[in-house]
Amino acid sequence: MAAVITADHLTIGWGDFVLMKELCFEIEEGDIFVILGGSGCGKSTLLRNIVGLEQPMGGTISVLGKQPHEHETPPYGVMFQSGALFGSMSLLDNVQLPLQKWTDLDAGAIEDVARARLRLVALDGYEHFMPSELSGGMKKRAGIARALALEPRLLLLDEPSAGLDPISAVELDDLILTLSGNLGVTTVMVTHELPSVFKVARRCIMLDKQAQAIIADGDPHLLKDSEDPRVHRFFNREPSTGAAS
């Protein structure tokens, strides 16, 4: 399998503050790859480096063979933590926007494609709703529909199931599995939610704030039995010594 994303001695952070040093990993085509780690360790910052919203402090990251900023058209779809839908536009307009920008389709075809994307995430019937009229789970699904608008080979999701009720979270996991299975989309996901990780991830890496490095890499079901106490505690939801029980 070809690598879709390659991080080579990647150092990330913000301002002068280094979060992670010398990260090296590859994400293969068709994978569902999860980035794990405690709060504030740099998971979302890593995702922002992958999509070119932040520049690496050192090393390189390549997406489909190019640096993120070298792509003329966006090679990925991104769903942000809150969905980040444009509040002044209806759902349909939100999904149509990338199609209007990057395709030569006529208005009718653009609308058909946008409607199909919304149907894919079970939001048909909500085309003319404004984002403020939707629940958190629906916003995230709409965010995925917009991210899929241009049929990207790569889908990046920032905390997709955070703040969702268990049913919505499971539905979202099922959707991610469907997209990966049926469309062959490579998915990179940042999350804290262990049930989601165990359900969807084929491979995950775990970042550690103190080590400023990847401390685990592999199948989450195997990492649950890791001998590294930090990894074992995380996957088995065990608080560190000294915390209130």
Partner 1 sequence: MESQPFNIERSDIDGGGLRLVLSGALEMEAAVAFSVALERALGGHDGSLLLDLSQLQRLDGAGAALLYGLRARRAEAGGQIQLIGARGRVAEILTLYDDSSAQPLLRLSSPHVDTFTEVGQIAWSFGLGIRGIFEFIGQVAAASLLALRKPSSVNWTGFGGLMERAGADALPIVALIAFLIGLVTAFQAADTLAQYGANVYIADMVGLSMTRIMGPLMMAILVAGRSGAGFAAELGTMKVSEEIDALRVLGLDPIRFLVLPRVLALVLMVPLLTLLADLVGIVGGGLIGITFLELTPAAFVNRLTEALELWDVITGLILSVAFGVAIGMIACERGLATSGGAEGVGRFTTTAVVTILFHLVLISAVFTILFQFWGV
Q: Which long-range contacts (CB under 8 A, 24 or more apart) does 69-76 make?
A: 73/102, 73/150, 74/98, 74/102, 74/150, 74/152, 75/152, 75/153, 75/154, 76/50, 76/51, 76/147, 76/152, 76/153, 76/154, 76/155, 76/156
- Is 97 in a helix, a strand, or coil? helix
Under rule CB under 8 A, residue 244 binds partner 1? yes
The pair phi, psi for residue 39, each rounded to 5°, is: -60, 135
Under rule CB under 8 A, residue 82 binds partner 1? yes
Query: How far apart, in Å, are the Cα atoms of 225 and each of 160, 202, 232, 235?
Result: 26, 16, 6, 8
Under rule CB under 8 A, residue 87 binds partner 1? yes
Under rule CB under 8 A, residue 11 binds partner 1? no
- Pick the closer one to partner 1 by CB: 85 or 223: 85
Give the sheet arrangement for strand 3-14, strand by strand: 17-28, 3-14, 58-63
Under rule CB under 8 A, residue 126 binds partner 1? no
Under rule CB under 8 A, residue 102 binds partner 1? yes
Q: Cβ of residue 219: shortest distance to partner 1, in angstroms?
A: 29
Under rule CB under 8 A, residue 103 binds partner 1? no
CA dihedral 237, 33, 118, 90 (to 10 degrees): 80
The pair phi, psi for residue 111, each rounded to 5°, is: -65, -40
Using the contact rule CB under 8 A, the part of the chain among 91-99, 122-130, 180-188, 204-212 near partner 1 is: 91-99
Under rule CB under 8 A, residue 78 binds partner 1? yes
Under rule CB under 8 A, residue 90 binds partner 1? no
Under rule CB under 8 A, residue 220 binds partner 1? no
Under rule CB under 8 A, residue 239 binds partner 1? no
Under rule CB under 8 A, residue 84 binds partner 1? yes
Residue of the chain from 13, 42, 56, 74 that contacts partner 1 (CB under 8 A)? 74
- Pick the closer one to partner 1 by CB: 67 or 73: 73
Binding residues for partner 1 restricted to 21-50, rule: CB under 8 A:
48
Q: 194 burial class (0-12, 13-18, 19+ CB within 10 angstroms)?
A: middle
Residues engaged in binding partner 1 (CB under 8 A): 48, 51-53, 73-74, 76, 78, 80-82, 84-88, 93, 97-98, 101-102, 146, 242, 244
